[in-house]
Homo-oligomer: A and B are copies of this chain.
Amino acid sequence: MVRWEPGAGGRLREAAMELYVERGFEQTTVAEIAQRAGVTARTFFRHFADKREVLFAGSDDLLAALTRAVAEAPAEASPMTVVAAVLDVAGGLLGQDHERTRQRQSIIEAHPELQERELIKLARMSAGVAEGLRERGVPAPEAALAAEAGLAVLRVAFGGWVSASDPGDLRVAMRETLAALRKVTAS
């Protein structure tokens, strides 16, 4: 006889998504999430640092992929070229599962606490990319600027892609938005 079903983390993620959709974020308690997942509230907090974190489970993987993309970019590439490569990777990873992403994003946009968490995750991405650029020999301010510019592109492109009724490839949107950024900043 099993003492507990495996995969508690995944079940908690599912349950949380469902409940956040059904009643909203503040209206659902951790106890309810845990109950639906068949575990205790205490177990919830062993899998996720807090009630918000459950919506941002994949972000560590994304960060890792982005920093890898920085490291693996051609040595002669300019900082913005590296950032473009990073955006391509990000677009590939974020641009799957439009419907699910859209649902998740609508939860986040309805709750400032969740937006805060999302913003700090994105800030960590930017910081990670900047650090990677510095390790490639890019001077610190230039690295930070390139990374922040990339973040600007990502935010705008992703926002448009999520809210689009007929979304194309997010990577394409990223490239177009990067081009638009170049045009805007040049004016």
- Contact indicator A141/B180 (Cβ below 8 Å): yes
Any B CB within 8 A of the CB of A18:
no
A145 contact from B115, B144, B152, Cβ within 8 A:
B152
Contact at A187–B156, with CB atoms within 8 Å? no
Q: Which of A34-42, A57-65, A95-103, A117-125 contacts B (4 or more CB under 8 A)?
A: A117-125
Bound Cα distance from A108 to B107, whole angstroms: 27
The main secondary structure of chain A at its interface with chain B is helix
Whether B144 lies near A156 (C-beta < 8 A) is yes
Which residues of the other chain, B, contact A81 by a CB distance below 8 angstroms?
A: 187
**B152, A148: Cβ atoms closer than 8 Å:** yes
Q: Report A147-159 CB contacts with B as 1/0, cut-off 8 Å.
A: 0110111011001
Are A79's CB and B187's CB within 8 A? Answer: yes
Check B152 against A184 for contact (C-beta < 8 Å): no
CB distance from A79 to the nearest CB of B (A): 6
Q: For chain A residues 38-73, which have a beta carbon within 8 Å of chain B?
A: none
A141 to B122, CA, bound (A): 20
Q: Taking CB as reference atom, which chain B residue is nearest A151?
A: B152
CA distance A148 to B78 in the complex (A): 21
User: B144 touching A159 by the CB < 8 A rule?
Assistant: yes
Of the residues B115, B149, B177, contact of A123 by C-beta under 8 Å: B115
8 contacts between A and B (CB under 8 A): A79-B184, A80-B184, A119-B123, A141-B177, A145-B184, A146-B185, A148-B155, A185-B186
Q: Across chains A and B, which 4 residue pairs bring their CB atoms closest together, nearest first?
A: A148-B152, A116-B116, A119-B119, A78-B187
